[in-house]
Amino acid sequence: MRANEFRAWFFSGRDGEAAAVVMRVDGERVVVEATDGTVRESEPLTTVMMSEPFDHAPRLITLRSGGTLEVEEEGGRLARALARAGVAVSPVVQLRRWWPAVLVALAGLIALVSLAYLKGLPLAAHWVADRLPAGIEGRLGDQMLVALDRHYLGPSQFDAEWRERLARRFADAATKAAPGVPYRLEFRATSEESINAFALPGGVVIVLDGLVRFAGDEAAVLGVLGHELGHVAYRHSTRQVLQSVGVGMLAGMLWGDFSGTAASVPLVLGVLKYSRGFEREADDFAIAFLRANEISIEPFYDVLVRLVEREERRGIATLPDFISTHPSLAERIEHVFKALDE
């Protein structure tokens, strides 16, 4: 068998019969010869459709006549003959056939995914959040509140008069420190007296009775509310929702063909990671908020410290949401502490 000749199966496309033939790469043509030597097909290499080479699979070569050739690679002999005849190998195939190149590609992939995860997604989420119609954001927050009310939250135990007074105090402070940040304050309680406050997309700020009792001081409560107002001003909740959608899409791209449970696991990891920077921003906002209203930062700082002490006593499993950024907690306290000195 000459270097440019290959035994192959020929399928006419008219029936399923497999004909044993010899395929010859003849100059710039593919010639198909029957076993008795008669030429069945002859076609320029430029018009045939050739499948990509795989290590252990035969090549499928489709001719204009509708016929198909099934030709084994024969350990690279076919690829060499085609290369001699001037058939170009696509860069993608060249890349994936060479292990060192694949490892470089893997390193590039990891770098790109990390970059997209750490920088690209937050930027994209920020960009989209700023352009999202207020109506959609509001509806998103309202729906989350409905779900929270149905499953976790109950009405506040404080009397309406007290709530109204705090709300008015906060409204005045907000007008002074951050006019034009639309928010809605909601009082709620949970059965196990959770110490928490949080902001939902669209500006809903929820404060739980447990937090108010724990803080004790009105200035401290205002500090926490200022922190939540910071989340609202920077649209952190909306950005977080958008980022987790982005992480889900990225994970789907990597491990699923838009399916598979495995793809949804990193989604939650993404939410946790992102919140650290947001908490820092909100703390800064709270400090500026308190300063603009000439309220001491000390009570707010005090709440943070007491929360950490409490957590250290109970183990870190019950950290409330508005402080749930374990690794940066000490850092955050230090950050606020610095503001205290200034």
Partner 1 sequence: MGGLGGPPPSPPNARKRRGGAVALLDGPPRGAASRSVHEERLEIPPSSTYASAVAVPLVPLDADAPSMTTAPLVFTGRGGEYFRIWVVNLLLTVITAGLYSAWTKVRKAKYFAQNTRLDGHVFGYHGNPKAILRGRIIALVLLGAYTWGFQFSRVAGLVTLMVLCAAGPWLFMRSQQFKLGNTSFRGLRFGFDARVGEAYRIMLPILVLWFAPAVVTALTADEGWQLGLVGLLTTLAIPWMHHRLKAYQHGRAVYGDRSFAFLGARRKFYGVYLKGAGLVVLAVLLGTTVAFVIAWFRGPASQFPGTGFEAAIYGGIIVLPVYVFAWPFLAARLQQAVWTSTRLGDVRFRTEIKARALFKIVFKSVMLTLLTCGLYWPFAAVALARYRIECVRVDSELPLTAIAADLHGRPVAALGEGAADTFGLDLGL
Q: Which is nearer to partner 1, 128 or 292 (CB)?
A: 128
Smallest gap from residue 22 Cβ to partner 1 (A): 9
Q: Which residues bind partner 1 (CB under 8 A)?
A: 1, 7-9, 11-20, 35, 51-52, 54-58, 60, 66-68, 70, 72, 75, 92, 95-97, 99, 102, 105-106, 108-109, 112-113, 116, 136, 139-140, 143, 249, 253-255, 257-259, 261-262, 265, 268-269, 271-272, 314-315, 317-318, 321, 324
Q: Which is nearer to partner 1, 178 or 195 (CB)?
A: 195
Q: Return phi, psi of residue 77, to 5°.
A: -60, -40
Q: Which is nearer to partner 1, 172 or 321 (CB)?
A: 321
Smallest gap from residue 320 Cβ to partner 1 (A): 9
Q: Which is nearer to partner 1, 112 or 330 (CB)?
A: 112
CB within 8 Å of 143: residues ≥ 6 apart: none
CB within 8 Å of 194: residues ≥ 6 apart: 208, 210, 211, 320
- The answer to whether residues 129 and 232 touch, using CB atoms and an 8 Å cutoff, is no
Q: Which is nearer to partner 1, 69 or 219 (CB)?
A: 69
Q: Which is nearer to partner 1, 11 or 158 (CB)?
A: 11
Question: Distance of CA 241 to CAs 43, 126, 269, 326, Å?
Answer: 57, 11, 13, 20
Provide the residue type at 228 as one letter: E
Query: Parallel, antiparallel, or unpaired: how do β-strands 204-208 and 184-189 relate?
Result: parallel
- The answer to whether residues 12 and 70 touch, using CB atoms and an 8 Å cutoff, is no
Q: What are the tokens at 5?
A: 């000749």
Report the C-alpha gap between 7 and 24 in whole angstroms.
9
Report the C-alpha gap between 95 and 102 in whole angstroms.
7
Report the C-alpha gap between 262 and 255 in whole angstroms.
7
Smallest gap from residue 315 Cβ to partner 1 (A): 5
Smallest gap from residue 161 Cβ to partner 1 (A): 31
Please, is 283 exposed, middle or buried when counting C-beta atoms within 10 Å of its C-beta (0-12, 13-18, 19+)? buried
Nearest to 211 by CA among 280, 307, 284, 297: 307
Q: What are the tokens at 188?
A: 């709620």
Smallest gap from residue 60 Cβ to partner 1 (A): 5
Smallest gap from residue 151 Cβ to partner 1 (A): 10
Smallest gap from residue 156 Cβ to partner 1 (A): 20
Smallest gap from residue 174 Cβ to partner 1 (A): 27
Report the C-alpha gap between 237 and 326 in whole angstroms.
19
- The answer to whether residues 202 and 219 touch, using CB atoms and an 8 Å cutoff, is no
Q: Return phi, psi of residue 260, to 5°.
A: 95, 135
Q: Which is nearer to partner 1, 17 or 341 (CB)?
A: 17
Q: Which is nearer to partner 1, 163 or 256 (CB)?
A: 256
Q: Return phi, psi of residue 118, to 5°.
A: -85, -35
Q: What is the residue whose two structure tokens read 């230090």?
A: 334
Q: Which is nearer to partner 1, 18 or 171 (CB)?
A: 18
Smallest gap from residue 144 Cβ to partner 1 (A): 9
